[in-house]
Amino acid sequence: MSRRKEKAKIVFTILEEQNPHPVTELNFETPWQLLVATVLSAQSTDKQVNKVTTLLFDKYPYPAQFAALTPEELAEEIKSIGLFRTKSKHLVVSARALLERHGGEVPADLVSLLSLPGVGQKTANVILANAFGIPALAVDTHVFRVANRIGLAKAKTPVATEEQLTSIIGRELWADAHHWLILHGRYICHARNPHCSQCSLREHCDYFQSYRKK
Ligand code: SF4
C-alpha cells in the first residue's frame, strides 16, 4: 500500500470515530435547494447561507419561481451574501436552463451540472454526493488546505487534489471524506491559525511533523 493510501486509512478511521455520519451543514430539501445553497455558500458561511435560504425557500421553493424572477429581484433577497449580484444572475439563468433543458429537474450527471452557470466542479460534486448519493469528492478551500497539509495530497489546484484523493480513497468514502475534511478545516485546521495542539491527526500530519522539527 502506498504511503498516502496508508495515511488516508489512518486519518479517516480517526475522523470516522469522532463523527461516524458526517453531513453537510447547509439546509435543503431538494436538489435544486442544495444547488442554490451551494452556489450561495462561495465566500460565505453556511450559517449565513442558512439564514438567507430559510426565508428564500419559503417564498420560492422551486426552480420555476426563480426562473420567473429578474436577477435584480433575486439580488434583493440575497443581498446579505457576498457576491450576491453575480450569484443572483447565475441562479436565475440556471433555473431557466433547468426548465428549458431538463424539465425543471436538477440533472444527476457531472457534464450537465457543469453546463449550468455558476456551477463548477466543486458545486457539481456536492450536488451529486449530497442530493443523489452518487460517489463524488468535492474539493473546496477547506478540503484543499487540510488534505495538502496532512499530506493526503500534494497538489497545487483543487482539481488535482480531487484526482489525488479519489485515487487513494475508496469510492464508498468519497462523500464522507469531503465532509470530514471540511469540518476539520472549519473547526480545527484553520487557514491562518491551525489548532494543532487540539488536533487528533497531528501525529499523521506532514505540516505538523515538519513544523515540530524546526
Ligand atoms: S496537525 Fe495542525 S496542520 Fe495538521 S491537520 Fe491538525 S490542525 Fe491541521
Alpha-carbon span 79 to 88, nearest angstrom: 9
The response to whether residue 14 sits with its C-beta less than 6 Å from ligand 1 reads no
Are 50 and 40 contacting, i.e. CB atoms less than 8 angstroms apart?
no
Domain 31-132 fold: Endonuclease III; domain 1 (1.10.340)
- Domain 3-22+137-213 belongs in CATH node 3.30.10.20: no
Specify the pLDDT at position 62.
Answer: 97
Q: Is there an atom of ligand 1 within 6 Å of 189 CB?
A: yes
The pLDDT of residue 127: 98
Indicate if the pLDDT at residue 211 is higher than 90: no
Atom of ligand 1 nearest to the CA of 198: 7
Distance between Cα 201 and ligand 1 center (Å): 6
What residues have CB less than 8 Å from 20, skipping those under 6 apart? none
Q: Is 59 a catalytic residue?
A: no
Q: Which of 46, 87, 122, 176 is the catalytic position?
A: 122
* The predicted structure's pLDDT at residue 212: 66
According to the 3-state scheme, what is the secondary structure of the chain?
CCHHHHHHHHHHHHHHHHCCCCCCCCCCCCHHHHHHHHHHHCCCCHHHHHHHHHHHHHHCCCHHHHHCCCHHHHHHHCCCCCCHHHHHHHHHHHHHHHHHHHCCCCCCCHHHHHCCCCCCHHHHHHHHHHHHCCCCCCCCHHHHHHHHHHCCCCCCCHHHHHHHHHHHCCHHHHHHHHHHHHHHHHHCCCCCCCCHHHCCCHHHCHHHHHHHHC
Question: CA–CA separation, 185 vs 146, rounded Å?
Answer: 6
Q: What is the pLDDT of residues 120-175, one digit of tens each?
A: 999 999 999 999 999 999 999 999 999 999 999 999 999 999 999 999 999 999 99
Is residue 101 scored above 70 in pLDDT?
yes
pLDDT tens digits along 1-51: 799 999 999 999 999 999 999 999 999 999 999 999 999 999 899 999 999
The overall pTM is greater than 0.85: yes
Please write the tens of the pLDDT for every residue from 164-202.
999 999 999 999 999 999 999 999 999 999 999 999 999
Pocket of ligand 1 contains residue 149 by CB under 6 Å: yes
- Indicate the domain borders of the chain: 3-22+137-213, 31-132
Q: pLDDT at position 43, please?
A: 87
Dihedral of alpha carbons 203, 207, 211, 214, sign: positive
Backbone angles phi, psi at 139, to 5 degrees: -110, 105
32, 131 Cβ separation under 8 angstroms: no
